[in-house]
Amino acid sequence: GQQVMQIPQYQHVQEGEDFTTYCNSSTTLSNIQWYKQRPGGHPVFLIQLVKSGEVKKQKRLTFQFGEAKKNSSLHITATQTTDVGTYFCAALGGGAQKLVFGQGTRLTINP
Amino acid sequence: ETGVTQSPTHLIKTRGQQVTLRCSSQSGHNTVSWYQQALGQGPQFIFQYYREEENGRGNFPPRFSGLQFPNYSSELNVNALELDDSALYLCASRQGQVRNYGYTFGSGTRLTVV
């Protein structure tokens, strides 16, 4: 079945540093979604990317979808303590449009 | 508009027992999915309902079953509970089958099997 691999598993940064998480698939993806889960919370939808090479920005967050639609990245500029959490990429797979989640990247920040 | 609500928030069950978890989808959303999230892992797809019909299932045994009601609320039933069933169970809803929207997740039910 479809799988998405996400790296790194953990990332610890100083407040103000940048952060990037990567998502890779061996197959071409129709689209990719990104979610954030705060500690003790539930996943919250951030964005969906559909087009090859697409780049979207949300304030300090930049999302990219690869040209081959097999990889994606999330970059946070100048992290803040409110960015703490686990970031998941998820791809729609199968006829049921189920979401296949990556393992997530847990971001912790030293204030 | 209200979001996705799940009940109960926490539950402790004994191995071999049965459990029913409930979910009210966001207003206007007719597609409901259930996910199991073990500690430190990403959510794993259990199954999805669209207009009261199951239209997709993940790699979970038949003792995991569900229902969707006419008002689009949903239940997840797990029979013969095992210790490995301990996890956060998440319900997620979205509008129809359109691929343009993300899922709205509920806060989840934390199930502990002892």
Read off the tokens for B72. 């689009």
Residue A95: predicted pLDDT: 60
* d(C-alpha A108, C-alpha B12), whole Å: 30
* d(C-alpha B19, C-alpha B110), whole Å: 12
The number of angstroms, rounded, from the C-alpha of A22 to the middle of its chain's C-alpha atoms is 7
Residue A96: predicted pLDDT: 53
Q: What is the pLDDT of residues A9-40, one digit of tens each?
A: 999 999 999 999 999 999 999 889 999 999 99
Residue B97: predicted pLDDT: 59
Determine the residue among A98, A101, A105 to mutate to test chain B binding: the one whose Cβ has the most chain B Cβ atoms within 10 Å: A98
Cβ atoms of A58 and A47 closer than 8 Å: yes
Residue A25: name the closest of A58, A73, A60, A62 by CA: A73
Work out the minimum CA distance from B106 to partner chain A, whole angstroms: 7
* d(C-alpha B108, C-alpha B105), whole Å: 8
Residue A77: predicted pLDDT: 98
DSSP state of B85: G
Of B42, B97, B99, which is closest to A31 when you measure between CB atoms?
A: B99
Of A42, A48, A95, which is closest to B56 when you measure between CB atoms?
A: A95
| B92: chain A residues, CB-CB within 8 Å | 43, 99
Residue B55: predicted pLDDT: 87
With CA atoms as reference, the chain A residue closest to B50 would be: A96
User: How many CB pairs (< 8 A) connect A and B?
Assistant: 66
Work out the minimum CA distance from B64 to partner chain A, whole angstroms: 17
Q: What is the pLDDT of residues A32-82, one digit of tens each?
A: 999 999 999 999 999 999 999 999 999 999 999 999 999 999 999 999 999
Work out the minimum CA distance from B66 to partner chain A, whole angstroms: 16
* d(C-alpha A51, C-alpha A73), whole Å: 14
Determine the residue among B105, B107, B109 to mutate to test chain A binding: the one whose Cβ has the most chain A Cβ atoms within 10 Å: B105
The owner of tokens 């791809």 is: A91
